[in-house]
């Protein structure tokens, strides 16, 4: 499976028709607005990004941002509970929302003539959310079940949450977005109402519109629709920065809902803060050289070659407000085990750190990223998502091409340096076995670090 990357998204800029216009403004109330014309179909994508996520939450209140995302569909004075989604469906559109560690995003895909209505509905719930205690009590049950499905009963989610708790020092970085189950039983309706009053404001939001619109006219429409909403004095954000080098490594055995052992190996790494930095681009390219296509090193050597792995994948997010991990996740074959597979994974990284990569490997990885961009060029949603990501993380939408150029300039020696950087890091190694396995029983007996599927 091809791994979608930042370069793939940034290359989307090249797929927009040459005469398309992208305009940006900031309203007097602080709302940042970016409109991109894409006239290939009579539709429009609207994305409203709020700069608020789980890293902004306090101990004991985890899951606030995600829970509020759910409650944003529970009504205002003019649009009662359930009517927001019904209105969008009646107009033939689609909608969704998601919460990450650093932002909450609401998006609608709609025929262009309905854009004024969609914007009016979003402006309304930016200031007039009015959910009942009953609506909250019903929805929090849905959220708890979502956690059970995505964490407790999901081996990947369970393992990832444990990884966060071991890899980071600050609670805000340790907590998964959905929050701990114990906190989800303690959250009250007024906790969410207070969170809404604190953070849902035009000066904490970015509106991105991509589609068959006139950019100048659309900016005027946004001004008319959102311009009257007052700005707020936002709370001070807590410091969620962490040093790139971990104070100590960790190795943990845990049991979970799985029939096949699996692992995640994580290293603290930097994110991109300035366009001219080298290491983040090289780490992004290293991830693609290691896995994600049939010619990648893990696929070629450890899955098909030695047949030590059934699956291996890498992940690294280059642009984010939260501290990031370079992670490698895998599942051993019958002829291997977790420790042996980890040893071979690290040996491959060490080989790159010692001998580097070939120009052929490097160019193949870059070509695959460019191909991903071509496959995605018809996606207005992907264009809007990249714009929102850049704008909410200290960059500008017009940095797209600069990012592409920087990744194109990554050299084999840069990738070699990135591999050497990983080798210097203290890693976190999370092993997940079936709950009734001998490894889990032994871990309990020897009092080694151990986590069941019960959570904080």
Q: Are residues 266 and 390 in the same domain?
A: yes
Q: Are residues 352 and 410 in the same domain?
A: yes
Q: What is the pLDDT of residues 223-263, one digit of tens each?
A: 999 999 999 999 999 999 988 877 678 999 999 888 999 99
Whether 210 is covered by a domain: the verdict is yes
Single residue among 173, 193, 227 that ends a domain in this structure: 227
Q: Are residues 194 and 277 in the same domain?
A: no
Whether 3 is covered by a domain: the verdict is no
Q: Are residues 333 and 209 in the same domain?
A: no
Q: What is the pLDDT of residues 347-385, one digit of tens each?
A: 999 999 999 999 999 999 988 877 776 666 678 999 999
Contact call for residues 233 and 67 (beta carbons, < 8 A): no
CA dist 195 and 199 (Å) reads 6
Single residue among 193, 227, 261 that ends a domain in this structure: 227
Q: Are residues 255 and 222 in the same domain?
A: no
Q: Are residues 315 and 438 in the same domain?
A: yes
What CATH number is given to the structural domain containing 269?
3.30.830.10
Q: Are residues 287 and 221 in the same domain?
A: no
Work out the percent of the chain whose per-residue pLDDT is above 70.
92
Whether 11 is covered by a domain: the verdict is no
Whether 242 is covered by a domain: the verdict is no
Q: Per the structure, how many domains does the chain have?
A: 2
**What's the confidence (pLDDT) of residue 373?**
66
Q: Which residues pair with 428 in a beta bridge?
A: 250, 266
Q: Are residues 214 and 269 in the same domain?
A: no
Q: Are residues 152 and 297 in the same domain?
A: no
Q: Are residues 258 and 201 in the same domain?
A: no
Q: Where residue 66 falls among pLDDT bands split at 50, 70, 90?
A: very high
**Mean predicted lDDT score pLDDT of the chain:** 91
Q: Is 156 exposed, middle or buried (0-12, 13-18, 19+ CB in 10 A)?
A: middle
Sheet strand arrangement including 22-26: 22-26, 32-37, 205-211, 43-50, 104-111, 94-99
Q: What is the pLDDT of residues 193-233, one digit of tens each?
A: 999 999 999 999 999 999 999 999 999 999 999 999 999 99
Whether 450 is covered by a domain: the verdict is no
Q: Are residues 26 and 85 in the same domain?
A: yes
The backbone torsions φ and ψ at residue 203, rounded to the nearest 5 degrees and listed phi first, read -80, 5
Q: Are residues 223 and 260 in the same domain?
A: no
Give the structural domain span for 327: 250-444
Whether 190 is covered by a domain: the verdict is yes
CA dist 30 and 223 (Å) reads 11
pLDDT at 18 over 90: no
Whether 346 is covered by a domain: the verdict is yes
């Amino acid at each position: 499976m091809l791994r979608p990357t930042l370069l793939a998204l940034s290359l989307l800029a090249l797929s927009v028709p040459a005469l398309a216009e992208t305009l940006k403004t900031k309203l007097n109330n602080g709302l940042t607005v970016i409109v991109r014309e894409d006239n290939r179909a009579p539709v429009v994508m609207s994305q409203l990004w709020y700069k608020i996520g789980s890293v902004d939450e306090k101990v004991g209140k985890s899951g606030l941002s995600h829970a509020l995302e759910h409650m944003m569909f529970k009504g205002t004075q003019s649009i009662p509970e359930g009517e927001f989604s019904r209105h969008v469906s009646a107009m033939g559109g689609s909608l969704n929302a998601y919460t990450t560690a650093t932002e909450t995003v609401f998006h609608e895909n709609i025929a262009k003539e309905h854009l004024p209505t969609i914007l009016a509905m979003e402006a309304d719930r930016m200031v007039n959310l009015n959910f009942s205690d009953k609506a909250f009590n019903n929805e929090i049950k849905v959220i708890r079940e979502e956690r059970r499905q995505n964490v407790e009963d999901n081996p990947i989610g369970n393992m990832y949450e444990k990884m966060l708790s071991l890899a980071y020092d600050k609670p805000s970085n340790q907590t998964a977005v959905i929050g701990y189950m114990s906190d989800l039983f303690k959250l009250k309706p007024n906790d969410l109402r207070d969170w809404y009053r604190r953070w849902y404001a035009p000066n904490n939001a970015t509106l991105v519109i991509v589609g068959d619109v006139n950019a100048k006219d659309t900016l005027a429409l946004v001004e008319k629709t959102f311009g009257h909403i007052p700005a707020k004095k936002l709370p001070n954000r807590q410091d969620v920065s962490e040093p790139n080098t971990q104070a100590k490594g960790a190795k943990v055995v845990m049991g979970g809902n799985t029939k096949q052992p699996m692992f995640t190996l994580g290293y603290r790494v930097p994110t991109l803060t300035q366009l001219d930095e080298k290491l983040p681009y090289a780490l992004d390219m290293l991830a693609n050289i290691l896995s994600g296509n049939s010619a990648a090193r893990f696929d070629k050597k450890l899955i098909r070659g030695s047949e030590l792995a059934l699956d291996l994948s890498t992940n690294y997010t280059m642009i984010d407000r939260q501290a990031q991990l370079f992670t490698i996740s895998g599942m051993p074959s019958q002829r291997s085990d977790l420790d042996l597979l980890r040893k071979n994974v690290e040996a491959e990284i060490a080989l790159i750190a010692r001998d580097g990569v070939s120009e052929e490997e490097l160019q193949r990885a870059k070509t695959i990223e460019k191909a991903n961009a071509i496959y995605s060029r018809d996606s207005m949603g992907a264009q809007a998502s990249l714009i929102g990501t850049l704008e909410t993380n200290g960059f500008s939408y017009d940095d797209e091409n600069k990012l592409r150029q920087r990744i194109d300039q990554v050299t084999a020696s840069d990738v070699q340096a990135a591999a050497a950087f990983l080798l210097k890091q203290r890693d976190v190694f999370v092993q997940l076995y079936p709950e009734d396995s001998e490894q889990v029983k032994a871990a309990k007996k020897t009092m080694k670090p151990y986590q069941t599927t019960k959570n904080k």
